[in-house]
Amino acid sequence: MKLSGAKALLMLPALLLLVAVFLYPLLRYGWLSGHASSVLTGLRPVPNGGANWQRLIEDVRFWKDAGQTLRFAFCSVALELAGGLGVALLLHQPLRGRGTLRALTLLPWALPTTVMALGWRWILNDPHGPLNAALRSLGAPSYGFLTTPATTWFFAVLADVWKTMPFVALLLLAGLQSIPADLEETLRLEGASRIQILRRLTLPLLVPYLSLALLFRLAQALGVFDLIQVLTGGGPGGSTESLSLYAYLNAMRFLDFGYAATVMLATFLLLAVLLGVGWLLLRRARIARTTGGPA
Amino acid sequence: MPLRRLRAGLRRPPGIPGPLAVGLSALLAAMLLALGVAPGLGRLQGAAPQPVPIRALMPAPLADAVAGPVARFNAKNPGVRLEVIRGPLDTEAISDLAISSLLLGEAPFDLLLVDVSWLAKYVAAGWFTPLDGWFGPEVLAAMEPGARLGNSIGDHLWRMPLTGDTGLLYWRTDLMDRPPRDTDELVAISRDLQRRGKVPWGYLWQGRQYEGLSCVMVEVLQAFGARWWDGASGATALDSPEAVAAASWLDGLLRHGVSPASVAGFTENDALQMFAAGEAAFLRNWPYAWREIEKADGPIRGKVGVTTVVAAPGRQAGGTLGTWGLSLIRGSPHPEEAVTAIRWLTGETVQRQLALEQGYAPTWSRLYDDPELQRQAPLLVVQRAALQHPEPRPLTAAYAQLSDLLTRQVNGMLTGQEAPAAAMASAQRQSLQVLRSMVGTPAAAGTGP
């Protein structure tokens, strides 16, 4: 596509906005990551010859957090897509009270994350929370859900899925409604089973919506902050700390801006590579499908 | 088509009838006129000059506690209007809030109630004005030894302490005749009571991955003769045999069932609630907990004794210093008036009231000598004893990082992810790494303020 002068001019405001909110901060991070800028330098940037990057490479905590962030994002997004699809298919059925049901499904999505996380923290409280009260009424001892790394991680994922599945479901529901009903009707008349319709018609036509939900959710989940900060504070023993939380601590609590910028930039690069690879894979899959399979 | 309908709607002329439009514009004009003229009218009538506004940011509990004194201050000083901003309850949350505004340059407050563990960082960032011009060295001399700590850095006074709180040990007077004298006794009494079915748990404390765990660690390290921070060399000493012994003791409390495993997720309030429900023999907490227990109509009301924290046999015990004090923000447009407010809020009258109503420990020695106050605030004797040998947290600008590191490792140990020796060795290694990278060279690490 060739850009005419008028078109380029029309794109200029959007481009300027992108530069201001995206490119400038990135360049600034890049510049700051080459400096020591902490309480010990009086918050003034002092060039430190790549010491921040060297520290990052040797920083066990950064890599551990990176692994934890990826694990969290992949698990929760996978569950959200699967669950969201199920919910969307259910809400697409001509049920009585469907409107009310759809509104109810959206409730968790409408709640502020902080409030939701505080609620979960209370539910899981050991020993006073309702979940432990239920356990004890069954004769079992109370359990430290938020002091055992495995269960803490599990509930962090669960809380995220609970909150954002409605978003995915809503997106996919819109997709479902864009599929012409007569296509489905035709397939059914030709004797296709429900599973066949889902596999051959619904899912392929939903792919654009699925990939949109995937990219949205992945970008959000990889930057998870508020849920972790409120629910676990990164604990126990740092086992749920995410990269965003680590960057935040470096900047706001440790006042170590040079290193915080390095962590942010490294996180950004990591995510850009990941999302880029994901996008390429999706595109290849789509081309493969439209051209009738890979060579 | 919806779009066409929308366009039609846009093209329709506005539906406000003529007379109403005239009325509305007249009203608007009158309002604008009033806004412009009113201040001038006030000046014409010779109204009193506006009082100088002084704003102080405090954590919610302390903001509520000083509400009365603030009202009296405003009544006595018509030229100043002191206003307290109620910050969040959590110590770290309020520091994050303050830092967010301080980083932007012009903070919307003149005074900040500063936790003892923040001071070095804020001073290094250059956010405070020293108070030497208003308070001479004799001021601190009139305070208890522990209350003098953590207010001066270098040759300057940066903070006037409002409370003299330290960590204390709470014990059940209905379960034992006297409190334990050392850590061995604490464990022995706990296990004996647990064996006899008197209480489900022995000792409750704060083990969540947050600043409260650092406060516990300061006390336990001291109790086993270890030091977190070596001020002389400007480095940490967390892998010493004593430090490992301290961590092992804490870990053993959980493994032997003296403390419940849930302690690893406890903040002050979690531990207090469980103790107040009568489920344990001992509690580590701050002075406020005593009033909370006595105020509530719980099962152990009137059965709680308070004493200083204990050490291993033959060691010197020390409660963690957890004092709050007021600092003056650099760039405050009204430093004189702000200092007047500091003087009043940290003065004897207000501290006496805080001791009586909330149980906060005063800083002034004269208040501890007052027989009337001693009678009304029974905790005073213990608080004074605790202020003779308190343990401050490392006084370095890098403290937030060191504390975060240590709580992360220790909480990992408490939740079974690492053995005590490995956890402490790792904390030590990472601490030195952080100190090196923040200033460049290891030797310079200690030369921070």
Does A30 reside within a domain? no
Q: A residues 147-176 near B, CB within 8 Å?
A: 147-149
Give the minimum alpha-carbon distance from A51 to chain B in angstroms, rounded to a whole number: 7
CA nearest to A149, candidates A235, A209, A53, A70? A235
* pLDDT given for residue B445 in this prediction: 38
* pLDDT given for residue A165 in this prediction: 94
Does A122 reside within a domain? yes
Instruction: Give tens-digit pLDDT for A78-87.
Output: 999 999 999 9
Give the minimum alpha-carbon distance from B75 to chain A in angstroms, rounded to a whole number: 38
Of 3.10.310.40, 3.40.190.10, 1.20.120.1150, 3.90.1520.10, the CATH number of B52-164+322-386 is: 3.40.190.10
Structural domain range at position A165? 52-290
Domain ranges of chain B: 52-164+322-386, 168-320+394-447
- Element at B38 (helix H, strand E): helix B18-44
Lowest mean pLDDT among A283-287, B12-16, B99-103: B12-16
Looking from the CA of B364 toward its CB, the CA atoms found within 13 Å total: 19
Answer yes or no: do B412 and A236 touch at CB < 8 A.
Answer: yes
What is the count of structural domains for chain A? 1
Q: CA-to-CA distance for B399 and B115, rounded, in angstroms?
A: 12
Does A201 reside within a domain? yes
Residue of B nearest to A229 (CA): B93
Taking contacts as CB-CB distances below 8 angstroms, the residues of chain A near B411 are: 235-238
CATH at A252: 1.10.3720.10
Q: CA-to-CA distance for A143 and A128, rounded, in angstroms?
A: 10
Q: Is the confidence at residue B316, as pLDDT, over 90?
A: yes
* pLDDT given for residue B439 in this prediction: 61
Rounded to an integer, the average pLDDT of B259-268 is: 94
Tracing tokens 């990826």 back to the chain, one arrives at A70
Which residue type does B141 have?
A: A
Residue of A nearest to B403 (CA): A254
Residue of B nearest to A52 (CA): B437
Which residue type does A203 have?
A: L
Pairs of residues, one from chain A and one from chain B, whose beta carbons lie less than 8 Å apart: 118
Does A3 reside within a domain? no
Instruction: Give tens-digit pLDDT for B348-394.
Output: 999 999 999 888 999 999 999 999 999 999 899 999 999 999 999 99
* pLDDT given for residue A69 in this prediction: 95
Taking contacts as CB-CB distances below 8 angstroms, the residues of chain B near A236 are: 209, 264-265, 411-412, 414-415, 417
Q: Is the confidence at residue B209, as pLDDT, over 70?
A: yes
Does A14 reside within a domain? no
* pLDDT given for residue B47 in this prediction: 58
**Residue A65 at interface with chain B, using a CB cutoff of 8 Å:** no
Taking contacts as CB-CB distances below 8 angstroms, the residues of chain A near B408 are: 234-235, 237-238
pLDDT confidence tier of residue B37, bands split at 50, 70 and 90: very low
Instruction: Give tens-digit pLDDT for A1-49.
Output: 556 788 888 889 999 998 889 899 999 999 999 988 888 787 888 888 8
Give the minimum alpha-carbon distance from B357 to chain A in angstroms, rounded to a whole number: 29
Q: Is the confidence at residue A188, as pLDDT, over 70?
A: yes
Minimum-distance CB partner of B411 among A51, A52, A235: A235
Q: CA-to-CA distance for B400 and B124, rounded, in angstroms?
A: 13
Q: Is the confidence at residue B217, as pLDDT, over 60?
A: yes
pLDDT confidence tier of residue B153, bands split at 50, 70 and 90: very high
CATH T-level assignment (fold) for domain B168-320+394-447:
D-Maltodextrin-Binding Protein; domain 2 (3.40.190)
Give the minimum alpha-carbon distance from B289 to chain A in angstroms, rounded to a whole number: 19
CA nearest to A221, candidates A12, A98, A79? A79
Q: Is the confidence at residue B5, as pLDDT, over 50?
A: no
Most B CBs within 10 Å, among A120, A123, A147, to test the B interface = A147
Does A128 reside within a domain? yes
* pLDDT given for residue A197 in this prediction: 87
Joined tokens for residue A106? 């959206």
Answer yes or no: do B408 and A147 touch at CB < 8 A.
Answer: no
Answer yes or no: do B415 and A237 touch at CB < 8 A.
Answer: yes
Q: Is the confidence at residue B287, as pLDDT, over 90?
A: yes
Fold match between domain B52-164+322-386 and domain B168-320+394-447: yes
3-state helix, strand, coil in chain B (%, to 5): 50, 15, 35
Does A111 reside within a domain? yes
Q: CA-to-CA distance for A261 and A269, rounded, in angstroms?
A: 12
For chain B, the first-to-last Cα distance in angstroms comes to 71
Q: A residues 84-143 near B, CB within 8 Å?
A: 125-128, 142
Which residue type does B223 have?
A: A
